[in-house]
Every structure is written in C-alpha cells, then in structure tokens.
Amino acid sequence: MTTPPTPILRLTDIHRSYNVGTDVETEVLHGISLALQPAEFVALKGPSGSGKSTLLNIIGLLERPTSGLLEIAGQPTQSLDDAGLTKLRGATIGFVFQFHHLLPAFTALENVLLPSIIAHGTATAAAEANARELLARVGLKGAEYKRPGELSGGMQQRVAIARALSLRPRLILADEPTGNLDTVSADEVFGLLREFNRDHGSACLIVTHDPRLAAGCDRLVELVDGRVVSD
C-alpha cells in the first residue's frame, strides 16, 4: 500500500478579516478549505473583490489568516514567527505579481539573484550560473545587464518569473501574472510557468481573469464573495 503524497498546500477553514476590533471590521474570506498536490497546475478565478489576492497573500505567507490552518509542504504555519515564515517562504514558494516589482536600479541578472542573496547572504558562482540559465530559458540571453526600464513589459515579467523560479520553488503563486501584457506576451509567460511545472514538478496556483489561460490549467477553483463556489 502506498501512502498518498503530502499536499504541497493545505488550507483548512481559513478566515480573514480586515480592521479587526473596529466598527468597520469586515470578513473577506469566509472559511476556505483547499488542498494542492505536488505538480498540480491550478487556475484561481473570481470577480474583482472576491478575495483572490488576499488568499494568495495568505498562502504566500505575506499575510496571516485571522483563523484557520495553513500547511505548506506538511508544515503548519500558525506557530511560526516572522523569521520562520520568511525562511519557509524562501525555501518553498516563488511569487509572481501582476506588476513585476523588479528593482529598477538593478540589472536583470541582479534581480534574478536577489532571492539567493536574501536566502544565503551572498550570490555564489553556482547561483549566478543558475540565474543566467534561467534568463536564457525565459528568452532573455543578452539582456542580463539591462535594467528593467530598458526592457518591454513582457520582458520585465519574464525577468520576474526567472526571479520567482530562481530557488526552484515547489509552489509557485502567480497573481494575474499576465494581466498587464498583450496576448503574445501573456501566452509566453503562461507557457514558461507550464514548462517549469512540467520539468520540475512545481505546483502552480495562478490567479487569472483570462478564460483562455484558465482553460490551459488542469483544475479551476472559483471564488465568489470569499467562498469557494466551484472546484
């Protein structure tokens, strides 16, 4: 008998309120339960304001839930302090945002090296070789020394993807990674995530409004008013 694999992500009855204890307290997530298996490629959709970004920020350990259990790769997170969360995030999660959040003063190569520097305090030769290879893989060979301002929107987002993948995360979270791009760039960026998922078995959870891209995922989770309405 084989035991089922540990989910890379498990949410149990997650609630999130803003402005707790004030007279404008509002609950925006009303008990989300969800599990993702390793290598799953999942789209998250829902109307504006339904709580998608809030949910992604909680899963990405950038915000804490008000209540409920969040386990990443089998590890419960509620008792971790900020340093523990940062460590787990660095070791497990790659985040791609709608706007790339690259550091404008740094080159593409330096931006991709940042997670290694944050995790290990320095960029080793191996980390640099890996960053160069990732940039080549996202089609940016030759752009290593360009700053974000010298690159197109699609190219900037590809640098952001290379950065998110630089520590080979087992879980990739992408919040409308193509929302800002033309169709051709959007397809390229989506294709890169699919490729990384296939080659490294990284699970992906992608917020998208684009039904075409959602159709390219293996599973579709739909959020309405802070609740999962279909999966």
Ligand X SMILES: Nc1ncnc2c1ncn2[C@@H]1O[C@H](COP(=O)(O)OP(=O)(O)OP(=O)(O)O)[C@@H](O)[C@H]1O
Produce one character per residue of 138-171: b if its CB has 16 or more CB atoms within 10 Å, e if not: bebeebbebbbeebeebbbbbbbbbbbbbbebbb
Q: How many residues bind Mg ion (CB under 5 A)?
A: 2
Q: Which is nearer to ligand X, 32 or 102 (CB)?
A: 32
Residues 149-178 that bind ligand X (CB under 6 A): none
Per the listing, tokens 């940039």 go with 135
Residues 40-79 that bind ligand X (CB under 6 A): 46, 48-54
Smallest gap from Cβ 209 to Mg ion, in A, equals: 9
Is residue 197 a contact point for Mg ion (CB under 5 A)?
no
DSSP per position, 199-231: HH--EEEEE---HHHHHTSSEEEEEETTEEEE-
CA separation for the pair 97, 178 (Å, rounded): 9
What, of Mg ion, ligand X, none, does residue 18 touch, CB below 5 to 8 Å by kind?
Answer: ligand X
Closest residue to Mg ion in the complex (CB):
53
Q: Select from 53-61, 62-70, 131-139, 215-223 the region that touches Mg ion (CB under 5 A).
A: 53-61
Smallest gap from Cβ 129 to Mg ion, in A, equals: 35
Q: Which is nearer to Mg ion, 140 or 217 (CB)?
A: 217
100-107: long-range contacts, CB 8 A cutoff, minimum separation 24: 100/148, 100/156, 100/157, 100/159, 100/160, 101/160, 102/148, 102/156, 102/159, 102/160, 102/163, 103/148, 104/147, 104/148, 104/149, 105/147, 106/147, 107/144, 107/145, 107/146, 107/147
Is residue 28 a contact point for ligand X (CB under 6 A)?
yes
- One residue of 50, 53, 166, 208 binding Mg ion per CB under 5 A: 53
Is residue 208 a contact point for Mg ion (CB under 5 A)?
no
Q: Which is nearer to Mg ion, 46 or 148 (CB)?
A: 46
Q: Which residues are at the interface with Mg ion (CB under 5 A)?
A: 52-53
Q: Which residues are at the interface with ligand X (CB under 6 A)?
A: 18, 28, 46, 48-54
